[in-house]
Amino acid sequence: MSEPFEPKIVAFVCTYCTYAGADLAGTSRMKYAPNVRIVRLPCTGRISPMFILKALQKGADGVLVSGCHPGDCHFAQGNYHARRRWTVFRALLAFTGIPEERVKFSWVSAAEGAKFTELINGITDSIRALGPFEQYQELQKVIETQSTY
Amino acid sequence: MAKIGVFVCHCGENIASMVDTGRLASTISDHPGVAVASEYKYFCSDPGQETVKKAIRENGLTGVVVAACSPRMHEQTFRKACAEAGLNPYMLELANIREQCSWVHTDKEQATEKAIEITRSLVEKVKRNNDLKPISVPVTRRAMVIGGGVAGIQAAIDIASAGREVVLVEREPSIGGHMAQLSETFPTLDCSQCILTPRMVEAIQHPNITVMTYSEVEEVDGYIGNFTVKIRQKARYVNMETCTGCGDCIQKCPVKKIPSDFECGLGNRTAIYTPFAQAVPNVPVIDRDRCTYFKNGKCKICQKTCQINSIDFEQQDRIETIEVGAIVVATGFQIQNTAMYGEYGYGRYKDVITGLHFERLASASGPTAGKIRRPSDGKEPEKIVFIQCAGSRDAAKGVKYCSKICCMYTAKHAMLYAHKVHHGETQIFYMDIRAAGKGYDEFTRRAIEEDEAGYVRGRVSKVFEENGKLIVRGVDTLLGRPVEVVADMVVLATAMVPQPDAKDFAKRIGIGYDEYGFYNEAHLKLRPVETATAGIYLCGACQSPKDIPDSVAQASAAAAKVLGLFSKEQLEREPVIASVSDSTCAGCWGCVTACPYNAIDRRDITDRNGNVIKRVASVNPGLCQGCGTCVTFCRSNSIDLAGFTEKQIFAEVMAL
């Protein structure tokens, strides 16, 4: 029997809330699945949908976007922009054939180390259940074979 | 060609016990562009930092990645080390392999794998970092304080006494605020006027303070260190320079029966008036809406009376534009309109009054000269019922929060009444007695034990009139039975709520507010007097319900923040800001609407003849806070954020 599938998850987080929440999980010595790679940004408002697509294209099986709770954004409104963008982006995901469950949106404050831990474990389990994300790699192969002219 | 140095820290055992640091260093040393990769027990220590500096100098490194703790911990430490070794401090990234790796995982193999990927992706990022310089912004070392209550006065005096100019703006004809209306103050029973008026005089006489009364802030433009404020000075119709404040005009004014706001409608004023006798400045204003001359074109008695010709009916509102570097918002509060409690009969029965009315009744300078008299018939009340939490802590009808001062002032009212009407009886309906503060619990105990304030724990359901008396029906929840009290007067401890125009004003000057309209601090615990907008500070009850000691303390804190800002001529800021590429900007202005700080303007690009050939977005570096929302919004990829550029992040993602 082959080894169980271990997904790779890329998390785009804001530095003020979720990154600090992840740090708190660390300083509190909480334990969570090692499948997540965190990319730190100033604000969720800075997170472009292109980052998410790029991560999925480069081999991530799931993506997490997390920032400050509504009303708590360090930059006043960045997370509202992120939330609006996410609503639109969700429709685009469906259009491009990426299952919506592969991208998760959440709020984790700087005080929520425990929530961060649960979130990572939860998303790791759910992505593991979905299996590897290979559509893009397959598409890439098609493009490479066709781009001879 | 990039020459990156990677420094893997053991953090004693903190990292090394869960991450194979040797493997991390050797794997990363093979990564393209990595010139040196070394490990050490504590890179944050002096010898550790020396190793980093030496490696930078000897290898001519172009970038540094320290694989260690969170950047929130030691980014500044290593930035400084880089700068000391001659490398731009922003050519550094910290790979967080402690808080977000070694401390949270239990499998060394997987943790090492993760640490390698984290470090690798930051090596790719740092290759694309740019030399950045902290931004220098000049600071106009003059402050504006908005609101001339006790908080605003304190902040203004503190800033002015430290040698900086202050403009104190107050929309009423006099400074003083709510505190000027109070009779005595808890817990010392100092006369409010006696402690406040010297401060008011100090403020107006201070050489560094310009007091602008009867003035409102119309517009705030600019950013920290460089605000431009437009202030409307409403027409007083009295010449401020020449008026001596003799009061002859007030004496002679024929319109005498205007309910005075200052007296909460318990007393009257004239059409030309000062709100109270100790007003600062002591210069009257003409109430245009009530003045006979302005209504009928005839009268001018005040002008004829004035011996120094200070009445000027031609005066117009004036707009003044002032440059300031910092703004202190001290706009205060108002008392909630208690009309929503129809069952208490406020507004229907003259003898159901608010705590602020009672202050005026108890004040020696008030309409009854300090004698407690019923508003309906002027008789001395034999029994007063106080109802606490009339609006506060009532999610259904009032506000959810505790107004903080009502327990204390109700106890004070009961005391003052006991001191003035010896045979009088009090009954106080309360939910809890919240008396936290220096000398506060002792004060309420004194009210109960020495002045025989009758506390009844419970709520009032109804107040109604019968035979000239007020019948108060409620429940005593400690005894578990209904009570009915016959009273001569009922005093409601109404909630403190934000000023009626608090939200509009916040939008006008660009600060945040909560669901009620109280202004938001940057951090409730650690930055309680700053707003999220740099350079704008808060104090007093505009932030939350507060008593006098708290308002004054917060005012001094805000003044200290302002003085800190004014301690240098230039202000240094993190260079993480957005910038626009003029050549590709299509001028869709999506970024302009997206920016939470109004930091993006439209800018004309002209040819040599001055003809506009293109309009592009332009980021004001002083206002930009570096959130990057505009970057993501930009349809033509024309904006980028220094420190978090598209290139950097894509490289980081692709290396994961």
Residue of A23, A38, A66 to mutate when probing chain B, most B C-beta within 10 A: A23
Q: What is the residue type of B287?
A: D
Q: Which one of B103, B628, B646 has the shortest CB-CB distance to A26?
A: B103
**Taking CB atoms and an 8 Å cutoff, what residues of chain A touch B121?**
37, 39
Average pLDDT over residues B586-614: 92
Inter-chain CB proximity B656 and A19 less than 8 Å: no
Inter-chain CB proximity A45 and B629 less than 8 Å: yes
Name the 3-class secondary structure at A143.
helix
Supply B131's token pair. 């030399």
Contacts of B330 (CB under 8 A, 6+ apart): B145, B146, B147, B148, B149, B151, B152, B155, B538, B539, B540, B542, B555, B558
Q: Residue A44 domain-assigned? A: yes
**How many inter-chain contacts (A to B, CB under 8 Å) are there?**
120
Interface of B with A in 9-38 (CB under 8 A): none
Inter-chain CB proximity A42 and B628 less than 8 Å: yes
CATH code for the domain of A134:
3.40.50
CA distance B66 to B98: 12
Q: Residue A4 domain-assigned? A: no
Q: Residue A96 domain-assigned? A: yes
Q: Residue A92 domain-assigned? A: yes
Domain containing A89 equals 9-145
Q: In this predicted model, what pLDDT tens digit does every residue of B621-647 receive, in sequence order?
A: 878 889 999 999 999 999 999 999 999
Q: How many CB atoms lie within 10 A of CB B17?
A: 13
- CA-based diameter of chain A, in Å? 57
Q: Which one of A22, A47, A74 has the shortest CB-CB distance to B99?
A: A22
CA distance A145 to chain B (A): 23
Inter-chain CB proximity A76 and B596 less than 8 Å: yes
Average pLDDT over residues B274-282: 94
Domains of chain B: 4-127 (3.40.50), 142-234+319-332+535-565 (3.50.50.60), 248-305 (no CATH), 334-497 (3.50.50.60), 574-654 (3.30.70.20)
Q: Which residue of A has its CA nearest to B102?
A: A26
Average pLDDT over residues B92-100: 96
**Taking CB atoms and an 8 Å cutoff, what residues of chain A touch B118?**
37-38
Inter-chain CB proximity B632 and A74 less than 8 Å: no
Where on the phi/psi map is residue B95: left (φ > 0), alpha (ψ -120 to 50), or beta? beta
Supply A34's token pair. 């090692």
Looking at the structure of chain A, the number of domains it has is 1
Average pLDDT over residues B230-237: 96
pLDDT band for position B529 (cuts 50, 70, 90): very high
User: What is the model's pLDDT at position B622?
Assistant: 79
Q: Residue A3 domain-assigned? A: no
User: What is the model's pLDDT at position B338?
Assistant: 85
Inter-chain CB proximity B629 and A29 less than 8 Å: no
Q: Which CA distances in Å does B24 have to A38, B8, B27?
A: 18, 8, 5
**Taking CB atoms and an 8 Å cutoff, what residues of chain B touch A84?**
none
User: What is the model's pLDDT at position A1?
Assistant: 45
Name the 3-class secondary structure at A134.
coil
- Cα angle A34-A37-A43, degrees, rounded to a multiple of 5: 135
CA distance A90 to chain B (A): 16
Q: Which residue of A has its CA nearest to B106?
A: A31
Q: Which one of B72, B101, B118 has the shortest CB-CB distance to A20?
A: B72
Inter-chain CB proximity B629 and A81 less than 8 Å: yes
Residue of B13, B92, B99, B624 to mutate when probing chain A, most A C-beta within 10 A: B99
Contacts of B61 (CB under 8 A, 6+ apart): B3, B4, B5, B35, B36, B55, B87
Q: Residue A33 domain-assigned? A: yes
CA distance A102 to chain B (A): 17
3-state secondary structure B502-566: HHHHHHHHCCCECCCCCECCCECCCECCECCCCCEEECHHHCCCCCHHHHHHHHHHHHHHHHHHC
Q: In this predicted model, what pLDDT tens digit does every residue of A127-137 receive, in sequence order?
A: 999 999 988 77
The percentage of chain B sitting over the pLDDT mark of 70, rounded to a whole number, equals 100
**Taking CB atoms and an 8 Å cutoff, what residues of chain A touch B626?**
42
CA distance B60 to chain A (A): 28
Quick one: B288 exposed, middle or buried, by C-beta within 10 A (0-12, 13-18, 19+)? middle
Average pLDDT over residues B581-606: 93
User: What is the model's pLDDT at position B571?
Assistant: 87
Q: Which residue of A has its CA nearest to B104?
A: A31
Supply A76's token pair. 């006043």
Q: Which one of A46, A54, A77 has the shortest CB-CB distance to B628?
A: A46
Whether the predicted interface score ipTM is above 0.90: yes
Average pLDDT over residues B370-391: 95
- Cα angle B138-B139-B142, degrees, rounded to a multiple of 5: 155
Residues of A at the B interface, defined by Cβ within 8 angstroms: 8, 10, 15, 19-20, 22-23, 25-27, 29-32, 34, 37-43, 45-48, 50-51, 54-55, 58, 60, 74-78, 81, 85, 117
Supply B280's token pair. 């600062």
- DSSP 8-state class, residue B458: S
Place of tokens 């419970």: B458
Q: Which residue of A has its CA nearest to B642?
A: A42
CA distance A61 to B159: 57
Q: In this predicted model, what pLDDT tens digit does every residue of B164-189 receive, in sequence order?
A: 999 999 999 999 999 999 999 999 99
Inter-chain CB proximity A51 and B103 less than 8 Å: no
**Taking CB atoms and an 8 Å cutoff, what residues of chain A touch B594?**
45, 81
The percentage of chain A sitting over the pLDDT mark of 90, rounded to a whole number, equals 63
**Taking CB atoms and an 8 Å cutoff, what residues of chain A touch B646?**
48
Average pLDDT over residues A82-109: 90
User: What is the model's pLDDT at position B573?
Assistant: 82
CA distance A54 to chain B (A): 7
Q: How many CB atoms lie within 10 A of CB B282?
A: 16
Average pLDDT over residues B87-109: 96
- In total, chain B counts a number of residues equal to 656
Residue B187 CA to its chain's centroid (Å):
26
Average pLDDT over residues A63-79: 87
Q: Which one of B96, B627, B650 has the shortest CB-CB distance to A43?
A: B627
User: What is the model's pLDDT at position A147?
Assistant: 59
The percentage of chain B sitting over the pLDDT mark of 90, rounded to a whole number, equals 91
Beta-bridge mates of residue B572: B136
Residue of B20, B600, B653, B656 to mutate when probing chain A, most A C-beta within 10 A: B653
